[in-house]
Amino acid sequence: MSILDKTLTALLFTFVFLSLIVGMTYAQINITATITATPTVLASPTVTVVPSVTPTPNATVSPTPAPTIAPRQVFSSPNWNVDHETITIINNGGTINVTAWIGDRSNSLPYTIDAGATKTISTPTIMTQNGQLVDVGFDAYENGTLIDSYKATITISLGPTPTSLPPESITIIGTITDADNGSVVAGASVTFLSLNYGKTYPAVITGSDGSFTSPKMYPDTYAIRVTASGYQIASFGTEKITSDTMLNSPLSIKRLIGTATPTPTPSPTPTSIIDSWISLLYSPTLCFGTISAFVAIIAGSIGIYEWLARQRNARVKKEKEEKEKEEKEKQDAANATEKQDLPDGRDKRYP
């Protein structure tokens, strides 16, 4: 390339370069002008205010009133008997709990009267003197509500002292159970108080089936007291008992608060021999163990039999050897008797 061509080319590149610079400067001026232009203020959007909704309060729900237990008369025929008061209860409603007290309410006995039942109950006995004033009372509750009560003040008029006591001829038989699950309570202590004669009999202990039998006692009305480990102390009353009596229902006692309720132990179900063998076959572990035990017994029996057989054979062999020895000695003795030696030493039987 000649010098002229080179010069023209350089001029061309210089022109193009300058054109680019001028173009960029012009563009920068236009951009700046655009940016510095006064902005158009847009109208603020209209905001519609939604009125707040006041929540409607929940309607007040009136509680369902508890059923009202109407008072009713359940007591009749009160009667003083030497040192205690008796009264008859006719219960035409639900189950009720009755407290019978004498002197003051701390000296009381509790009773439970089933629905529709008629029963005569007694207060505890009290030591009295002729002309003494004694307060007695009975209170009946249904579901914790007092429905009837009886209270009286008795003037004591003592009659002649009986010359003799009746024979102790009756027994009371019953069962103590758990009030929560109905299981029997073994080892409970049961005492009996004769209300008319004021005698407390020694405690009896319930057996494994929860049953008890009192000692021979007076024909009388009794207060029964039950104590057991883990249970609340309970008292029960009876009507007058004139002969050996089995209580119609068990005496249920409640467990102390916080004491776990025991689960009744199910009675084992008797099984037949065939069922036992089937259970054995379907239990591989038990089956293997049983078979191993049988094999050990059989092997042991075989070993004992073999040992006895060896002992028997040795004994027979020894007896045989002793017998042969004895016969040989007898034969030698017989030969010696028949043998007579000659002077030259020869046997006379052999010349």
Q: Which two tokens stand for residue 106?
A: 């701390």
**Burial degree of 321 (CB within 10 A; 0-12, 13-18, 19+):** exposed
What does the pLDDT read at residue 220?
Answer: 95
Res 82 pLDDT > 90: no
Q: Is residue 333 part of a domain?
A: no
Comparing C-alpha atoms, which of 110, 103, 182, 101 is closest to residue 137? Answer: 101
Does 118 share its domain with 188?
no
Tell me if 15 is assigned to some domain. no
Out of 44-53, 103-112, 190-199, 227-236, which region has the weakest mean confidence (pLDDT)?
Answer: 44-53
Can you give the pLDDT at residue 143?
Answer: 92
Residue 159 pLDDT > 80: no
pLDDT tens by residue, 168-226: 999 999 999 999 999 999 999 999 999 999 899 999 999 999 999 999 999 999 999 99
Instruction: Note the pLDDT tens digit of each residue in 306-332.
Output: 878 888 888 888 888 888 888 888 888
| Residue after which a domain boundary falls, among 253, 288, 314 | 253
Residues 179, 150 within the same domain: no
Which residues make Cβ contacts (< 8 Å) with residue 81, sequence separation at least 6? 122, 196
Same domain, residue pair 136 and 179? no
Instruction: Decide if 324 is inside a domain.
Output: no
| Confidence (pLDDT) at 149 | 92
CA 42 to chain centre: 84
Last residue in a domain, options 201, 218, 253: 253
Model confidence band, residue 140 (pLDDT cutoffs 50, 70, 90) = very high
51 in any annotated domain: no
Task: Say which range, 4-8, 131-135, 286-290, 325-329, has the weakest mean pLDDT.
Answer: 286-290
Is residue 150 domain-shared with residue 176, that is, in the same domain? Answer: no
Q: Are residues 143 and 207 in the same domain?
A: no
49 lies in some domain: no
Nearest residue to 194 via CA among 112, 124, 111, 107: 124
Q: What CATH number should be reported for the domain holding residue 130?
A: 2.60.40.10
Write out the residue range of the structural domain in which residue 109 sits: 75-155
Last residue of a domain, one of 155, 187, 209: 155
Give the pLDDT of residue 32.
Answer: 46
Task: Confirm if 85 and 121 have CB atoms less than 8 A apart.
Answer: no
Q: Does residue 112 lie within any of the structural domains?
A: yes
Q: For the chain, what is the domain count?
A: 2
**Residue 110 shares a structural domain with residue 176:** no
- 280 assigned to some structural domain: no
- Based on the fold, state whether residues 79 and 129 are members of the same structural domain: yes
Beta 245-246 vs 172-178: how paired, if at all?
Answer: parallel
Looking at residue 265, what is its pLDDT? 56
| Lowest mean pLDDT segment, chosen from 121-125, 177-181, 189-193, 261-265 | 261-265
> If you average pLDDT over every residue of the chain, what do you get?
78
In a domain, 269, yes or no: no
